[in-house]
Amino acid sequence: RAAEWQGGQPWGGRLRIPARGSTAFIRLEDKSSGELFAQAPVEQFPGIAVESVTDSSRYFVIRVEDENGRRAFIGVGFADRGDAFDFNVALQDHFKWVRQQSELARQDLDQGPKLDLGFKEGQTIKLNIANMKKKEGATGNTRPRPAGPGGLTLLPPPPGGKSCGERPPSLPGPARLPGTPITDSVLSWPQPSAPAAPAADAWGDFAKASG
């Protein structure tokens, strides 16, 4: 219980949680200089390295450890409940990532070593394609059929039919209409007759008239 903690003036600073491999480290540092005050390695969570108290969600007991391997349990409290929540989430996210990496490694072991199907240096392969050669005198057309627009295959013309490239038979010429001339097998309308030559001027030449 955090209410039962007794002591003098508590130490105040900042808390960071870096990670190295699968181990997270709770670092208590001076908030001005960044000097390390204490550090608690956490190899699993929840675990003995970090424990929450029974009477508050803002206080925890962590197991700190120095370079010589000596350990001690100290109490840590957050003034803001949101900071305590972030502390929990940071540790949960780290060990969630550790479990995912462990599952991926286990799946790789279960699948076994991958087969190397590539050619080694100097390795050759022999193919027997004698049956694929075209026999002499064989009938039939072995060329691929041309593909039409959109990837459709054009079918050959029916036996006895004519290909689409030939001209259709010529149509019978136009019927002659009575009294209508036909020129080059094309109907033409009668052309208007040329104007008659102008008749002699009944008035004579005005240039010769007097007055």
| Interval 9-47: pLDDT, tens | 888 899 999 998 889 999 999 988 888 999 999 988 888
| pLDDT at residue number 185 | 47
CA-CA distances (angstroms) from residue 174 to 106, 185, 191?
A: 90, 7, 19
Residues in a beta bridge with 108 = none
| pLDDT at residue number 46 | 85
| pLDDT at residue number 177 | 55
| pLDDT at residue number 86 | 92
| pLDDT at residue number 154 | 59
Question: DSSP 3-state assignment of 93?
Answer: helix
Asked if 23 contacts 94 with a C-beta cutoff of 8 angstroms, the reply is no
Against a cut of 0.85, is the pTM above it?
A: no
| pLDDT at residue number 165 | 53
Asked if 39 contacts 64 with a C-beta cutoff of 8 angstroms, the reply is yes
| pLDDT at residue number 85 | 93
Q: What CATH number does the domain located at 9-111 have?
A: 2.30.29.30
| pLDDT at residue number 114 | 63
| pLDDT at residue number 147 | 55
| pLDDT at residue number 42 | 92
Question: DSSP 3-state assignment of 168?
Answer: coil
Spans of the chain, pLDDT less than 70: 108-116, 130-211
The CA distance from 14 to 37, in Å, is 10
DSSP state of 191: P
